[in-house]
Structure 1
Amino acid sequence: MAAPQRVCAFEPSVWNDFFIPYEPQPLQMSEECMRVKMDELKEDVHGLFETLEDRAVEKMTLVETLQRLGIDHLFQEQIDTVMKEIHRSESNDDSLYEVALRFRLLREHGLWVSQDVFDQFRGKDGSLNKDIVAIEQRGVLSFYNAAYLAVHGESELDEAISFAREHLESIKSVLKYPLSEQVKRNLEIPYPRTLKRIDAPYYIKEYKHEQGCNPSVLELARLDFNHLQRLHQQELKAFCRWGNDLYEEVGLSYSRDRIVECYFWSYTVYYEEHYGHARIILAKLFVLSSLLDDTFDMHATLEEGRKLNEAIQRWDDTAIPLLPEYLKKYYVKCMSTFREFEDELEQGFKYRVLYCRQAFQTLCKHYQQESEWFHSSYIPSFEDHVKCSVMSAGTPSLIIGSLVGMGDEATDEAFEWAMGYPDVVKACGEVTRFMDDLAAFKHGKNKLDVASSLDSYINEHHVTSEEAIAVLNNLVEDAWKTTNQARFGSHVLIPIVNRVANLTKSMTLLFRDKSDLYTFSRGNRDRIHQHFVEPIPL
């Protein structure tokens, strides 16, 4: 029996045209003065690296501060040099805070360090020495965050997370500011899964209360945030015009209008100034993919979906007559947008768009597979579901799109690597898929939704929803460990792996508290306002 046609009832955009006429309030200094001042402050911070010389702890603290303030992108060469020096040198630290900080920073930068460095803080029974825990409150938070960089097989770090979380929960109400706020945030989202740019406004506010606060570093962080915010505001204004024109042109009124959210999502992958072109291309791909997703999920009949998939696989004007009338303009717009991507790229980079198109076609195939299941009321095995739905989560294909506008680091090797859907790319899809399905389950499944991975697991293994939820949560944790492990592969690919990790981290915002904050976007309104409307007070 054919499945009934689905009816869409998505919430309207919470932003409407807000950013198109929006003109931010004048800053306390002109753009030119801001740039001059930032250059002076950058020289001051460059000097700090030289002043610290062989003092490893101070250098680690500086790197940590720059990362938390979101200005490490201004000092990448110096930071890379420092981390290699720290990795080569012996560690004589006896502070839990410092050992955990060194462990986390090295692993974040793709430099291996063993979990055995924490043995000195364990008693004979293997548990953390309680005397140290009582003394080192900040050290426990550092240890807790470090443990989230575990790879597969590091069960001691899994135990450390449980131990440290329990301790932090018990003391969070008596901690002093700003440690109290940092503990609160990291208990919600551990720091290694937090996006630096998203955390920066909070830490900029807190840093002046930290021991050893450097006024030059703090001022640079404030100026850099505001400088980049102005750039993002200009991009967002133009992007909203593009998005509104697209929605009006294609006329798919059943779809989610999430233009601002698509830009924000791309921004979480790369906020830096020199990634502007990459950011806009990825944001446009988010929009086109979202429209395609909604068409298969919420509107197209089985036959219409088949025709759309056939047209997208052919990718040619001769496929237009295949389509129902309401999908023709969307299809034409997809092809013209990809042509625009190619036109915008330098001659030597134009080949990248072919990879991007192939990834988009792969995504469409998986949407169509899910449509076939839905319309035949079929619940696949969990294994078959995951093979398809990890890809239909969209992020594996979007990762390839994220490389198109990047610079020289997006090499031929990087595209071939990404097109092979290596473990870290699949892990991003797994985090996306399982967090999405857990959110959908929490908020009530629509009877016209396709069976989720959770449904497949329950159906195949005859378990309760609670047991299935535990399995999916464990699979999310396994995917994070795969993401951590990927940093220790080819150093040439580390810049790409870091962008994949950023996209994975963005899921902690998108599905915060098991809510779908893309579909139900009011939940991210304040955060988007914070990044694109509110400047940092100078």
Structure 2
Amino acid sequence: MIERAGKLKEEARPLFGACNNIVEKMKLVDTIQHLGIDHMFEEEIDFALHEIQENGFIGSSLYEVALQFRLLREHSLWVSPDVFNKFKGEDGMFRNDIANLYMSFRVISYVIPEAILCSGWNEDASNLLPEYLRKFYNRLLSNFKEMEEELPEDAKYRFARTKREFQEVSACQLRAAEYYYGNIKPNFEDQVAMSFRAGGGRFLLVGQTIGRDDITDETFELAFGTTIDVDATIACLKLGRFMNDIAAFKLGTNKTDVESAVEWYFHENKVTSDVALAKIESVVEEQWKIINKARFGNPVLFPVMKLAIKITVGIFFFNQDRCDHFMFNTEHLRETMLNLYINLIPI
């Protein structure tokens, strides 16, 4: 297998030299990245991107400019956002025709088909997807099917609920994309309702109940079987969402990132970032109060609450001190793993 992979790599390498222009070279790099094999062509990609940057290439279409901008920025090569100015009107906004074209390419060709097909859960409909998404979608359905076949009959009801939660996550992420690409500005409450569901925490929580004897059918139905959300589980999801948003805001976001709850709040209420941070942190504190109160609430729900609290504590651990330690502080993660599994506890 390794020998065959090396042979295929050698066969593919000349493709870089065969590109007739910069656009073809950018598309080749983009395709290799989508295939997930860019680690095999690091030198070729690095050389190609430096060549693109040095030539000062400026595409004639928004697609070419956006592709160039993303590829260079992804690899820490500077390109000014001013390259997009020629696609903007006098008001500084993208012209309607251009914005609609861009939205069609990015949203309809990428996000919308995936979310619609996941809602239908239809294998035959995968032909409607672009080829690079088709494999992912078919593998997704295959994985769910394989997991379901491993379950006893009495656990399959919960698995069906897990699939519905996954569909809900897909729909919420689609809504987030529509907000971004359509330049839609919902109010703060609507944004919060969408974003904490898009994070996938409820999907994870429901999935963890499968096969657990300590969570009865009564508990499961009370927690997830109705359209009424249990306050404490929602508080766990909101707390995780807000803490991650605080950490992301302090780190600084890229221009293509969807706005965090902090940014949404200070834009809507015309306040400073410090005021917005204080507000979101006060909301986090309120969620903790709801969670702690739930420990002494309905005892039937407690097994689900224990799961939710464990997830929340994990999120808190990796996002404390206004920092995303999981993504951007590898030393913190390393020390944690050493203390948990390697270092001896002094007695």
Which TM-score tier does this pair reach, normalised by the shorter chain?
0.5 to 0.7
1:500 matches 2:305:
no
Higher RCO, Cα 8 Å, sep 6+ = 1
1:512 matches 2:317:
no
Q: Distance in 2 between matches of 1:496 and 1:487?
A: 11
* Preserved contact between residue 436 and residue 511 of structure 1 (Cα < 8 Å): yes
Q: Which residue of 2 aligns with 1:481?
A: 289
- What secondary structure sits across from 1:519 in the alignment? helix
Q: Which residue of 2 aligns with 1:340?
A: 146
Q: TM-score, with normalisation over the residues of structure 2?
A: 0.65
Q: Distance in 2 between matches of 1:531 and 1:411?
A: 34
Matches within 5 A, 1:378-457: 378-419=184-225, 420-457=228-265
Q: Which letter does structure 2 place at the counterpart of 1:373?
A: Y
Structure 1 pair 505–451 and aligned structure 2 pair: CA distance change class (3 A)? same
Q: Distance in 2 between matches of 1:532 and 1:422?
A: 35
1:458 matches 2:263:
no
Deviations 1:478-517 (A, max 9, x none): 0011101212222122121111111111112221222223
Q: Distance in 2 between matches of 1:332 and 1:471?
A: 43
Q: Which letter does structure 1 place at the counterpart of 2:246?
A: L
Q: How far has the Cα of 1:530 moved from its partner?
A: 3.0
Report the aligned-residue RMSD. Answer: 2.2
Deviations 1:292-351 (A, max 9, x none): xxxxxxxx9211100110111111211211211111222122222222222222221122
Q: Distance in 2 between matches of 1:504 and 1:497?
A: 10
Structure 1 pair 478–333 and aligned structure 2 pair: CA distance change class (3 A)? same
Q: Distance in 1 between matches of 2:266 and 2:306?
A: 34
Q: How far has the Cα of 1:364 moved from its partner?
A: 0.8
Deviations 1:45-101 (A, max 9, x none): xxxxxxxxxxxxxxxxxxxxxxxxxxxxxxxxxxxxxxxxxxxxxxxxxxxxxxxxx
Q: Which letter does structure 2 place at the counterpart of 1:350?
A: K
Equivalent residue in structure 2 for 1:525, among 316, 334, 339: 334
Q: Distance in 1 between matches of 2:295 and 2:249?
A: 32
Deviations 1:226-280 (A, max 9, x none): xxxxxxxxxxxxxxxxxxxxxxxx95579xxxxxxxxxxxxxxxxxxxxxxxxxx
Q: Which letter does structure 2 place at the counterpart of 1:463?
A: V
Q: Which letter does structure 1 place at the counterpart of 2:254?
A: N
Q: Which letter does structure 2 place at the counterpart of 1:310?
A: I
Q: Distance in 2 between matches of 1:435 and 1:302?
A: 28
Q: Distance in 2 between matches of 1:325 and 1:521?
A: 36
Q: Distance in 1 between matches of 2:325 and 2:132?
A: 28
Structure 2, unaligned runs of 5 or more: 1-33, 39-104
- What secondary structure sits across from 1:511 in the alignment? helix
Q: Which residue of 2 aligns with 1:471?
A: 279
- Which deviates further from its counterpart, 419-428 or 450-459? 419-428
Q: Which letter does structure 2 place at the counterpart of 1:524?
A: L
Q: Distance in 2 between matches of 1:369 and 1:253?
A: 30
- What secondary structure sits across from 2:327 in the alignment? coil
- What secondary structure sits across from 1:380 in the alignment? coil
Q: Distance in 2 between matches of 1:477 and 1:351?
A: 35
Equivalent residue in structure 1 for 2:161, among 355, 366, 370: 355
Q: How far has the Cα of 1:470 moved from its partner?
A: 0.6
Structure 1, unaligned runs of 5 or more: 1-249, 255-299
How many aligned positions are there? 244
* Preserved contact between residue 370 and residue 450 of structure 1 (Cα < 8 Å): yes
Structure 1 pair 335–403 and aligned structure 2 pair: CA distance change class (3 A)? same
Equivalent residue in structure 2 for 1:313, among 102, 119, 123: 119
Q: How far has the Cα of 1:355 moved from its partner?
A: 0.5
Equivalent residue in structure 1 for 2:130, among 316, 324, 328: 324
1:302 matches 2:107:
yes
Structure 1 pair 452–320 and aligned structure 2 pair: CA distance change class (3 A)? same
Q: Which letter does structure 2 place at the counterpart of 1:445?
A: T
Q: Which letter does structure 2 place at the counterpart of 1:362?
A: E
